[in-house]
Amino acid sequence: MLTLCQMCVSRCLRCVSVCLVATAMVCMLSNVLLLLPNLKIHFLLEGHVTREATWATGLWGSGFLVLFAARAFLQSSETRGCCAFRRQMFSRLLFSCVCLFSAGFCCLVSLTALSQGPLCLYSDSSGPTWGVPLKPNPDRDAGYLYNMSVWSSVCEQPAGVVQWNVVLFSVMGGASGLQTVLCGANVFNSLLGLVLGQGCCHGNKVGPAAV
């Protein structure tokens, strides 16, 4: 019985780990590109990068923390023995909770950045200035995401920054959202492993030898 439980857990962990590694790489690449509009570093050095991108949640949240947890999941998928199985279930639960919150925070930051719009150089009554001209305003329409005609007319620098941010924050938000779902499922499975693990262990006991 224990062997059957471990086989199911191992297969599940391998699939989850592969998905987490792939989405973590996507989030890290997206966040790096968000820090380099038009692939130019001087915007970052001058502080003219969207605030949510500088928080680097795609690097540390949905990136390194998730990769670290995915490695731990692969190790726990190779666990043998009853006590080791229960111990690894508890460890897996802790890692899953950390990843759940970090990936969820990255997803929330990405969605916030999408709703606010990018930091860019635009013209107002006082002349060219750096700011967030597309952020929600009760006196305006539903938002810039539903009005693509303003994407190229409002922001002057960096060129194409609206499209750049929309695509990359959407990708990062989608990938971190998937991570949140996977880690949430891992939390549930880990709790089941802790609860049912005792039964698995009892089912694996060897009866007394016949005389």
* pTM (predicted TM-score): 0.82
Q: State pLDDT tens for residues 173-185.
A: 999 999 999 999 8
Q: State pLDDT tens for residues 67-97.
A: 988 887 776 555 555 666 677 777 788 888 9
Q: Is residue 154 part of a domain?
A: no
Total domains present in the chain: 1
In the predicted model, what is the mean pLDDT of residues 194-202? 58
Q: Is residue 138 part of a domain?
A: no
Q: State pLDDT tens for residues 45-56.
A: 999 999 999 999
**Residues for the chain: how many in total?**
211
Q: State pLDDT tens for residues 11-21.
A: 666 778 888 99
> How far from 97 is each of 138, 190, 198, 206, CA to CA, in Å?
37, 10, 22, 35
Q: Is residue 190 part of a domain?
A: yes
- Residue 210 reports pLDDT greater than 50: no
Q: Is residue 7 part of a domain?
A: yes
Q: How confident is the model at residue 205 (pLDDT cuts 50, 70, 90)?
A: very low
For residue 91, which of 184, 187, 180 has the smallest C-alpha distance? 187
- 197 or 40, higher pLDDT: 40
Q: Is residue 124 part of a domain?
A: no
pLDDT score for 72: 78
Q: Is residue 144 part of a domain?
A: no
Domain, as residue range, for 88:
2-118+159-203
Q: Is residue 148 part of a domain?
A: no
Q: State pLDDT tens for residues 122-160.
A: 988 888 999 999 888 766 555 788 888 888 888 999 989
- Residue 201 reports pLDDT greater than 70: no
Query: Across the chain, what does the average pLDDT equal?
Result: 82
List of residues 6+ apart from 134 with CB closer than 8 A: 116, 117, 118, 143, 144, 150, 154, 155, 162
Q: Is residue 82 part of a domain?
A: yes
- Residue 114 reports pLDDT greater than 90: yes
- Residue 206 reports pLDDT greater than 60: no
